């Protein structure tokens, strides 16, 4: 029998949807109304993925993590990056452990390409002493 958290329908990803880890490809980031039916609208930033119709609602920490993973502070540039969403039981809210979804880089992720080209090394001066180790 499934856990009761799996029985409630949701338009957004939940902890039970991601379990110990789900690899997803970011499609886009936009604002969505997260309010329940018949409540005043409440807009929050959400990540959409290529592999699922359900977005994840972003909090401050997860937004910063995605920026760190992608090397991009502008969410318009996050598309195409892969991330892992996982259930983190240590997330607290209002002073209580409530658990939630956390985002991390895939384990085999390579570092993002530098945003600025590296400075080219100048050729060594032929008159310099090549025995100097620096």
Residue-wise pLDDT for 35-76, tens only, equals 998 999 999 999 999 999 999 999 999 999 999 999 999 999
Q: What is the DSSP letter of 36?
A: P
Query: Count of domains in the chain?
Result: 1
Q: How confident is the model at residue 9 (pLDDT cuts 50, 70, 90)?
A: confident
Q: What is the reported pTM?
A: 0.74
- Domain containing residue 85: 14-104
Instruction: Tell me, yes or no, whether 81 lies in a domain.
Output: yes
Q: Is the pLDDT of residue 16 over 80?
A: yes
| 113 within 8 A of 79, measured Cβ to Cβ | no
Instruction: Tell me, yes or no, whether 4 lies in a domain.
Output: no
CA-wise closest residue to 85 among 112, 49, 109: 49
| 66 within 8 A of 47, measured Cβ to Cβ | yes
């Amino acid at each position: 029998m499934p856990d009761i958290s799996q029985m409630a329908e949701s338009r957004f990803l939940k902890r039970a949807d991601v379990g110990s880890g789900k690899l997803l490809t970011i499609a886009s980031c936009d604002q969505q109304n997260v309010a329940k039916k018949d409540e005043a609208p409440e807009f929050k930033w959400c990540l959409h993925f290529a592999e699922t119709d359900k977005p994840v609602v972003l909090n401050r920490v997860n937004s910063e993590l995605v920026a760190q993973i992608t090397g991009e502070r502008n969410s318009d540039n996050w598309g195409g990056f892969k991330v892992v969403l996982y259930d983190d039981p240590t997330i607290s809210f209002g002073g209580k452990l409530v658990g939630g979804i956390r985002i991390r880089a895939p384990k085999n992720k390579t570092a993002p390409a530098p945003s600025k080209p590296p400075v080219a090394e100048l050729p060594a001066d032929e008159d310099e002493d090549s025995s100097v180790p620096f």
